[in-house]
Chain A
């Protein structure tokens, strides 16, 4: 299997909304009792008073709406979609759904489709297309991206801050590696071997099968994360499947490109619901991808099987913790690994997973993990990639940078690829995914 098997993306510069009924989220304001806990969790409102906070952008703005009012305040574009407000609200107001929907409406109704901002956002949110082109000629692409003139052009013409270094493309994508390795068939074999080695008693379910949602970044930029996922799961006796897939939609939601996101979702839902039908659970290594499949999909789209996908999607470590005695397995392992400074991505936090990486990796003898606190990294996917948000992004990240510097470590750890970029950008640390530590501990090379 190669990338060619992934469905084509139909990138159209002008989008036309379908004839679906407009989403009415006013009833969501019923749950708001104005405590403002959401506002106190908003990393943007803390550094940027142009952003009036999630309460205003969410339940208040929605409640004030009448049919026919289409004046979404442009400050909704200042929201970074970190979704911390969702995790904050003691009363279950669907804040991020309100923000996503309002942003979609704003982009659709009020944004100039020929503006540089729109085109830039469209490009950033369709990173997979760029990456898919870049990874065809990775060395050339990396060379061009590294040129000073490119970043100058990026800033002046596209509004991409010159301070940011474009992520490097891997010379071999994860999917290329996967198909070279023999795809699903090889995985099935390896899983069977692992199960045999473990002895039948430890295998609760002989059909141990997961469908891997690798997302764009593990495919094009950090295939080592994807490989680690495959090897770790196989070592527990799981057969890994890698269905065709498109972007999870996270960057598109954040940029109000809901039509692009829906098209991608149609493919992902179809492919992964089929995998679920084959007895697999869906596992993602990127916490924004799992967040999207679990929460944003059913909130924003009405597609056949979407609830099924939502209910059967897990983050990788979470899955192993629930189904295996992960910490028990790790307790006997020992690795020689530098201390790590761990940052919990906001989207992990929203899934209730903020503590698990430290808990799990600390079970490994020789690993010392320092939690660098609950602040947001500030990059929020494509947010920090915009000239107009760069300073805000770095201000938000300041606290995390300081805590990383203060931690006794020089390797960083996080599940989120864009948080990883920001951590590296702000501190110069090398950043690992927890799965990479698990691979070191559990998989004999």
Chain B
């Protein structure tokens, strides 16, 4: 009986963190997540809306995402929460990450070079990627490491040229200094640079700059794969920039993604600062509910069910990748609260024959009302005190429209705020399922 809070957030990714931070303004909050979040898979960029959801594969990128929010189809998470929640969610994010992220100076999207050599529209980007923007006219040298197969700098540079960027891009491949094995992990490179380790008698940052220098031909900026430090990326970039006499930026990669790791660290520090109790390691497996309200979420601690009581609950367990949505040959489901997940009954209707086609599976998730409460098949709310946020929501294809981070923040903010207010007695939640739809 001892574990009791006002708000319990289930899920520890961007949406869960946003919900917990928002709720903590109004109430005591606990966040539980089974394993580490998919932030570590993602590039660290926070997209709001990069392409129109129904624009097809030839759509142009959106420069002004807020202008486009009004046109979204019914059921899209942005349509559910409204444009103000998107702004509030971003403000909450900006507050949590401080000056480690850039983008809040404008409503416009930025185009960030990807490790595949394309550019991608995004709303917030790590400071480490800031000098790499594609709308910046300065020429760039991209540097890859011979043993790091995920980023081929000369190929990426040629691809950028094909994408018509307004600057000259060249690529060079160097051996990362020192004598690392060919399968060294990205964290190994980051650590060596963080600690400026001695590599054959030369400090790592100096050695790397020396390896790059001969390839530099007047470019004002140099891009590296995103391995430039984990704890001290600013220091690593500053050292390299000074030695190369050029701006230094990272090209986001993943998974695994150092920018994602850094973001996760920063967000969890913000949770701690906000007094949110966060714990990971054990799965939530089921709920205790009565009269349409959840009393507790049951956590399985190696076979022992332990109830976590709260007044309000937020479901933020992610989509198919984060395992918040699960499936078998017959059906798709949400495994913890068993919320309704609309989907075609024949699994051959779950995908498009084209690898980048319009995949129904990309839109799988729970269906929510305008208060973000998951709805049963008959359209009534599943529980009066449960809201959902982020990847577990259905009705949008974050990969195609480039909206993952923004939806997580906006719906996390909205769900967390509503839950926090209800738990803090500021509003009364609708206890009877279905009376608000």
Contact = CB atoms under 8 A, between A and B. Distances in A.
Contact present between A and B (CB < 8 A): yes
Interface of A: 33-37, 39-42, 45-50, 52-53, 56, 87-92, 294-295, 307, 310-314, 318, 321-328, 349-356, 359, 371, 398-399
Contacts of B105: none
B36 A53 contact: no
B279 A354 contact: yes
Given A36-B256, A39-B187, A322 B3 contact: yes
A398 B195 CA distance: 10
A329 B180 CA distance: 53
Contacts of B281: 87, 349-354
Interface in B170-209: 180-181, 183-188, 190-191, 195
B41 A322 contact: no
Contacts of A39: 185-187, 256
28 contacts: A33-B321, A35-B41, A35-B256, A37-B36, A39-B256, A40-B185, A45-B185, A49-B181, A49-B184, A52-B185, A53-B185, A87-B280, A88-B36, A92-B35, A294-B302, A295-B302, A311-B303, A311-B304, A321-B2, A321-B3, A322-B306, A325-B2, A327-B2, A351-B302, A353-B279, A354-B280, A355-B277, A355-B279
A349 B36 CA distance: 12
B37 A90 contact: yes
A88 B256 CA distance: 12
Interface string B10-47: 00000000000000000000001011111011000000
A48 B304 CA distance: 37
Contact of B35 (A42, A47, A88): A88
Contacts of A46: 185, 187-188, 190-191
Given A88-B35, A321-B3, A325-B2, 15 more contacts: A37-B35, A39-B185, A39-B256, A40-B186, A47-B191, A89-B35, A91-B323, A310-B302, A311-B304, A313-B302, A322-B2, A350-B281, A352-B279, A353-B279, A355-B279
A89 B37 CA distance: 9
A351 B301 contact: yes
A371 B282 CA distance: 21
B36 A90 contact: yes
B143 interface: no
Nearest to B279: A355
A356 B185 CA distance: 32
B176 to A, nearest CB: 10
A297 to B, nearest CB: 10
Nearest to A371: B272
Contacts of A327: 2
Interface residues of B, number: 42
B188 to A, nearest CB: 5
B188 A359 contact: no
A36 B255 CA distance: 7
A237 to B, nearest CB: 15
A85 to B, nearest CB: 10
B353 interface: no
Nearest to A56: B183
Given A42-B185, A90-B322, A352 B2 contact: no
B423 interface: no
Interface in B242-285: 255-256, 261, 272, 277-282
Given A321-B3, A352-B282, A37 B256 contact: yes
A56 B38 CA distance: 20
B58 to A, nearest CB: 30
Contact of B38 (A42, A47, A90, A318): A90
B1 interface: yes
A318 B304 CA distance: 12
Contacts of B40: 35, 37, 40
A87 B255 contact: no
- Lowest 8 CB-CB distances: which A-B pairs, in order? A352-B281, A311-B303, A49-B184, A352-B282, A36-B256, A294-B302, A46-B187, A40-B256
Most interface-central of B38, B183, B185, B231 (chain A CB within 10 A)? B185
Contacts of A35: 38, 40-41, 255-256
Contacts of A45: 185, 187-188
Given A35-B41, A312-B304, A352-B280, A42 B255 contact: no
Given A87-B35, A90-B38, A351-B301, A47 B188 contact: yes
A314 to B, nearest CB: 8
A147 B191 CA distance: 37
B2 A326 contact: yes
Contacts of B303: 307, 310-311
Contacts of A50: 181
A345 B274 CA distance: 23
A395 to B, nearest CB: 8
A440 to B, nearest CB: 21
Contacts of A294: 302
A322 B272 CA distance: 22
Contacts of B185: 36, 39-40, 42, 45-46, 49, 52-53
Nearest to B231: A399
B383 to A, nearest CB: 24
Contacts of B301: 318, 351-352
A50 B184 CA distance: 8
A349 B35 CA distance: 11
Contacts of B34: 90
A14 to B, nearest CB: 34
A294 B302 CA distance: 6
B277 A359 contact: yes
A105 B184 CA distance: 25
A113 to B, nearest CB: 28
Interface in B267-324: 272, 277-282, 299, 301-304, 306, 321-323
Contacts of A324: 2
Contacts of B278: 355
Contacts of A56: 183
A334 B231 CA distance: 37
Given A321-B3, A354-B281, A49 B180 contact: yes
Contacts of A47: 188, 191
Interface in B205-231: 231
A312 B38 CA distance: 32
A26 to B, nearest CB: 21
B301 to A, nearest CB: 7
Nearest to A320: B2
A45 B256 CA distance: 13
